[in-house]
Amino acid sequence: MEFDLIARHFTRATPGAVLGVGDDCALLAPTPGMQLAVSSDMLLEGRHFSPQDSPAGLGHKSLAVNLSDLAAMGATPRWATLAIALPEENDAWLTAFARGFFRIADQHGIELVGGDTTRGTLAISITVMGEVPPGQALRRDGAKVGDDVWVSGVIGSAALALAYRQGRLFMEQIDAARVLPALYLPTPRIELGLVLRGLASSAIDISDGLLGDLGHILERSHVGATLEFSALPTLPVTTTSSASPPLPASGMRCWQPPHPRA
């Protein structure tokens, strides 16, 4: 695709790479003695985001979900590649996307060193590379009998926010404002992952949900776990389910939805 577009939006200085964007390959020199941690995540329109979502938010989120995987491994972020399919060349959209992308990239010292740009239904696939000392990665198979289970932040906010945006439940705006950032501006726990090296026996990114993701650790580590529901950190927000609207008492009658659709 157009070198111009890549040059304008995705080419930055990459002092941490031997060679960044612009050649057939990037050239990277990992710190001697470190292991590379590599992960990819793909975001598709309609499945992971909607066309109305803010492009800057999307730039943030698409890199944030990848950084979360490095965090969950205890890896120091180093490099990223970005493969993006765009339905049209929209400079305003790309500028905003790149702003969100490079903002969080700079926060975590990760450099965009290459990628691919093609025309098509909007899709974003990012690969991140990080470094971890041999033997210190926070693997899923490391949990031991007697370990405590810890979570960072609060649980369930992104799921609540999604249900709210899809009109499946209602909450006051003040509550919505507290849960929506978990969906649109997730915070990767990079610093936490780094301090957990050598301390935690195991770790996992729980963006797919605590129970399912904890299950992956348990399966790989051949252990079980007990969770006390009351011990889970959640936000105290009040929601009303709209899953089953009240039925009309008799005959046909219009009824007021219990809440305005989001």
**Contacting positions for ligand ADP (CB under 6 A):** 6, 10, 21-24, 82, 84, 112, 114-117
CB of 30 to ligand ADP, least distance (A): 18
Q: Judged by CB, which is closer to Mg ion: 9, or 178?
A: 9
State which H helix or E strand residue 78 sits in: strand 76-86
Q: Judged by CB, which is closer to ligand ADP: 57, or 193?
A: 57
Per rule CB under 5 A, is residue 106 in the interface with Mg ion?
A: no
**Residue 240: C-alpha distances to residues 164, 175, 229, 261 (Å):** 10, 12, 20, 12
Task: Select the residue whose beta carbon is closest to Mg ion and give its number.
Answer: 116
Contacts 24+ apart (CB under 8 A), 223-228: 223/143, 223/144, 223/145, 223/147, 225/149, 227/149
CB of 106 to ligand ADP, least distance (A): 15
CB of 202 to Mg ion, least distance (A): 37
Q: Judged by CB, which is closer to ligand ADP: 23, or 88?
A: 23
CB of 132 to ligand ADP, least distance (A): 24
Taking the C-alpha atoms of residue 160 and residue 35, their distance in angstroms, rounded to an integer, is 37
Give the CA dihedral 180, 50, 187, 214, nearest 10 degrees. Answer: 90
Q: Judged by CB, which is closer to ligand ADP: 48, or 168?
A: 48
Q: Judged by CB, which is closer to ligand ADP: 67, or 82?
A: 82
CB of 112 to ligand ADP, least distance (A): 5
Q: Which of Mg ion, ligand ADP, none does 148 bind, CB closer than 5 to 8 A by kind?
A: none
Q: Judged by CB, which is closer to Mg ion: 24, or 228?
A: 24
Q: Judged by CB, which is closer to ligand ADP: 22, or 87?
A: 22
**Residue 25: C-alpha distances to residues 18, 115, 131 (Å):** 11, 9, 20
Per rule CB under 5 A, is residue 91 in the interface with Mg ion?
A: no
Which one of residues 89, 91, 116, 219 is an interface residue with Mg ion (CB under 5 A)?
116
Backbone φ and ψ of 43, nearest 5° = -120, 125
Q: Which of Mg ion, ligand ADP, none does 171 bind, CB closer than 5 to 8 A by kind?
A: none
CB of 87 to Mg ion, least distance (A): 18
Quick count: other Cβ atoms within 10 Å of Cβ 239? 16
Structure-block tokens of residue 240 = 């009303």
Per rule CB under 5 A, is residue 191 in the interface with Mg ion?
A: no
By the 10 Å C-beta count (0-12 exposed, 13-18 middle, 19+ buried), 38 is classed as: middle
Stretch near Mg ion under the rule CB under 5 A, chosen from 112-120, 145-153, 196-204, 244-252? 112-120
Sole residue written with tokens 């726990």: 189
**Residue 128: C-alpha distances to residues 1, 131, 207 (Å):** 22, 10, 17
Q: Which of ligand ADP, Mg ion, none does 88 bind, CB closer than 5 to 8 A by kind?
A: none
Structure-block tokens of residue 90 = 């929209």
Where does this chain bind Mg ion (CB under 5 A)?
A: 116
